[in-house]
Amino acid sequence: MTPKELIDAAIAPLSTVLREAGFKKSGRRFKRDVGEVRLFLDVQASQWNRDQSASFTINLAVFAPSVLRKLGEDVGDAPNSEAGCTWLDRIGFLTPEKKDLWWKLDSAESVKDVSSRVLETVHRYAIPWLVGAETYEGLCDILAQATGIPAADILWSLGLHAEARACVKRMPLNTSGRIKAAAEWVQLHEEAL
């Protein structure tokens, strides 16, 4: 099987589950509209897939006009892909390990096992994320659990200062660049109070 065939076979059960949940499929992208909110689940193939092996991950995104309006941004039409969304995340960062997760397929025999693990991970982490992102409050909760300056900036602009500080404090400070960025963010925002 080619890498494309391996991935498509592994996500076939996922397509059924998401269609039943109201998602529409286009290629390997699934989207669902809830009011003016648009949710995405996108299967991303690795650019390094070769011959008869493949790896892929899952990206999640939400276009939330209510948040964009509170941030003072213009709200146009809902995008048809993750580009232009309010917030994006990758499924691996929603798991307890909080690191990038790529499923590897090395043969037709590996499809069933990988497919099962993908379904379990999507049910456990992606579906709750997508359901939470449907509402303003839910998206704020998702952002409050995130790590780093992008989430902190949105939360700060929404007036959720304690949650913003917590995002920065959770940053892995394993390089001098991150330590400096976190310190600068805290200093700048503390002075604004």
Condensed to tens digits (0 to 9), the pLDDT of residues 24-82 reads 999 999 999 999 999 999 999 999 888 878 999 999 999 999 999 999 998 989 999 99
- 110 and 159 both lie in a single domain: no
- 168 and 110 both lie in a single domain: no
User: Measured between alpha carbons, how far is 183 from 168 in angstroms, rounded to an integer?
Assistant: 9
Average pLDDT of the residues in 126-150: 96
- 136 and 173 both lie in a single domain: no
- 76 and 164 both lie in a single domain: no
User: Measured between alpha carbons, how far is 179 from 62 in angstroms, rounded to an integer?
Assistant: 29
User: Measured between alpha carbons, how far is 144 from 155 in angstroms, rounded to an integer?
Assistant: 7
- 141 and 151 both lie in a single domain: no
- 27 and 100 both lie in a single domain: yes
- 103 and 164 both lie in a single domain: no
Q: Quick one: which H or E segment has residue 176?
A: helix 176-192
Give the start-end residues of each E strand in the chain.
24-26, 29-34, 37-45, 54-63, 87-90, 103-105
46 vs 179, more confident: 46
Q: What is the mean pLDDT of the chain?
A: 93
- 93 and 182 both lie in a single domain: no
Residue 59 belongs to what domain range? 3-145
- 151 and 113 both lie in a single domain: no
- 161 and 110 both lie in a single domain: no
Structural domains counted in the chain? 2
- 100 and 152 both lie in a single domain: no
The model carries a pTM of 0.91
- 139 and 183 both lie in a single domain: no
Instruction: Please identify which residue in the block is written with the tokens 């780093």.
Output: 148
